Structure 1
Amino acid sequence: MMSKKRLGKGLGALISDKKPEGNSSEKGIQKVKVNKIEPNPYQPRKEFNQKRLEELSQSIKKHGLLQPVTLRSKEDNSYQLIAGERRWRAAKLSGLDEITAIIQDCSQQQMMEIALIENLQREDLDPIEEAKAYNKLIDKFDLTQSKVAESVGKSRSSIANSLRLLNLPSEIQDYVSRETLTVGHARALLSLSTNAEQKEVAKEVIENNLSVRETEKLVKNLTTDKKREKKKKSKKRDPNIVAIEDRLRRSLGTEVSVKRGKDKGEIIIEYYSDEELTRLLEFLEG
């Protein structure tokens, strides 16, 4: 497992808490009114545990906010969170009027990367939130999977496997988010060819409390059975066509196959020498 210290560029590489040189009063560490702060629009985390927020709120009441949040200033003199939304929410809950903040210049892409890395380091995201965050980075900034992997310090295959979860029906994605199914279960279900099959097997897995290994075995059996059935159907031929082929073989004295399509078909007559071709032509010309 990759060490958290190596995750991505590191927040330190994307966020600096040093005050800028010069007389800019808009940058560096300062006190900011809580009600002038709005959340990060690229925050990948959708759910905040209320109990943990209340616990953090009580800690802030007692000890104050020990770690500043990071903001970027907007043209209307308000601020937008770059990192620290949980701390900001808890500070609001505790009744603080203002909090300490680091003010930074930051692009939209950096905001998204920072929010994602911060949550990954804290292990705050469920697998679907994580996959959606990667997908949003790719779509909004036209990034490759390799570039996203570089940004967050993971392998490209890890990003690709995460994104594959978004191919599952939303119902199964919800199971993964709520930890009703694990990522291992979800990856096994991806081997099934239709959403209907995936939903059906997912319900069976949940009802029978199947392990990941048992789920993989179930999926393998289903796909094997399906292949056998398909092969069996392809071998089964229309008896009328078979009878016609037999009649033509007897009449022509050579191998004949008839293939019938939706709107047209073809008759294939085999010959094995020039003399036989001449014989067949004479026969067909009457």
Structure 2
Amino acid sequence: MNDDVSKRRLGRGLAALIGEMDQSTPVGESPKAVSPDRMVPIEHISRNPRNPRRYFDESELQDLSSSIRQHGIVQPVVVRTVDGNFEIIAGERRWRAAQLAGLVEIPVIVRDVDDRTALEIAIVENVQRADLNPLEEALGYELLVAEHGYTQNDLGDIIGKSRSHVANSLRLLKLPNPVRDMLAAGDLSAGHARALVSTSDPAGLARTIVSKGMSVRDAERLAQNDIKAQTQPASMPKMDQKDSDTLALERTLSDALGLDVTINHRGSGGQVRISYKTLDQLEEICRLLERRS
């Protein structure tokens, strides 16, 4: 989905805010200045505690701080008023770097938005700029679902992503904390992590994947073998491992549906199993099948 379509889906008010913040600069060109509403003392500005972004690379902050010392802040921080002070809607990285640079005040754009819109903007801006790691993205989606009643379809429309992308992101939150930490640190990709969701020992398998430098395809084979061992009675002989084409097809269907899909061959036929946990997920499967009938 292109940026114009996703912004239209955001609604005119939110799209306008995103447009103000989306002042990207082509390589080789000087940054374009955006007019601020006012200058605000930096101590009167605080971060949004619900901003999904938690990790800020220290070396990148130092580089940005050096640039700010030399050129100032070209793109103002977008804020809203909260209890007489200002809370960041977008631009926390610039605010942090400005503090490192020793600035006493920074330029801001002030917008009057509620908690829900502030969270939407923070997530959309960071997702569009690929600033969130997969875990931060999933936690941001979870906040919109838990606190503001969004469905996965709603989130897909707002963020400009497919429903299956949202569903697959939320599946990562089923993982235990050690695996989440590896995901946040970049030791595991989202593809590695998704393969571990239904396994018996996600943390142990994650350590194996990292230590051996396994590809996503290798991680899927490892996870599939673990899942088969869970479901296969000890008295039964071990089934042959699935071939790479079958595993790839399982992954493709799982990603498309945002649900666990298992394929088992039986001679010239076989069985496709789609696992769901809620009636909403079942209804979504039915809608997808009806559209193709």
- CA 1:75/1:16 → structure 2, altered by over 3 Å: closer, same or farther? farther
Secondary structure at the aligned position of 2:232 is classed as helix
CA 1:226 to 1:42, structure 2 compared with 1: closer, same or farther past 3 Å? closer
Determine the structure 1 residue equivalent to 2:67: 59
Deviations 1:97-116 (A, max 9, x none): 21111111111011101111
1:206 paired with 2:210, answer yes
Work out the CA distance in 2 between the residues paired with 1:158 and 1:46: 21
Q: TM (normalized to structure 1)?
A: 0.70
Which consecutive residues of structure 2, in runs of 5 or more, have no partner in the other structure? 21-35, 238-293
Q: Among residues 8, 11, 16, which one is paired with 1:13 in the alignment?
A: 16
- Match of residue 175 from structure 1: 182
What does residue 30 of structure 2 align with? none
1:213–1:103 CA distance, 2 compared to 1 (3 A)? same
Task: Please give the alpha-carbon distance, in whole angstroms, between the structure 1 residues aligned to 2:210 and 2:82.
Answer: 48
Separation (CA, whole Å) in 2 of partners of 1:175 and 1:98: 37
Cα RMSD (Å): 2.3
Instruction: Give distance in 2, aligned partners of 1:4 and 1:56.
Output: 26
8 Å Cα contact 2:6/2:157 also seen in 1: no
1:229 aligned to 2:237? no
Output the CA distance in 1 between the equivalents of 2:18 and 2:191: 34
How many angstroms apart in 2 are the aligned matches of 1:4 and 1:172? 32
Contact 1:44 / 1:130 at 8 angstroms: preserved in 2?
yes
Matching residue of 2:171: 164
Give the secondary structure class of the aligned counterpart of 2:66. helix
Contact kept in structure 2, 1:7 and 1:121, CA below 8 Å? no
**Count of equivalent residues:** 218
Instruction: Look at both structures and tell me which one has the larger radius of gyration over its CA atoms.
Output: 1
- Matched-pair contact (CA < 8 Å) for 1:69–1:83: yes
Q: Percent identity?
A: 40
**206-215 vs 8-17, greater mean Cα deviation:** 8-17
Counterpart Cα distance in 1 of 2:17 and 2:143: 19
| CA deviation vs aligned residue, 1:100-147 (integer Å, no higher than 9, x gap) | 111111110111011111111221111011101100111111111111
Cα 1:227–1:54 shift into 2, 3 Å: closer
* One-letter amino acid of the counterpart of residue 213, structure 2: N
* TM-superposition CA deviations, 1:145-195 (whole Å, max 9, x none): 111111111111110000000111111111111122221111111232x3x
Q: Which runs of 5+ in 1 are unaligned?
A: 18-27, 234-286
Name the TM-score, length of structure 2 as normaliser. Answer: 0.68
For 1:106 and 1:48, the matched residues in 2 are separated by 25
Question: Structure 1 CA distance, aligned partners of 2:160 and 2:128?
Answer: 11
Q: Alpha-carbon deviation of 1:222?
A: 3.1
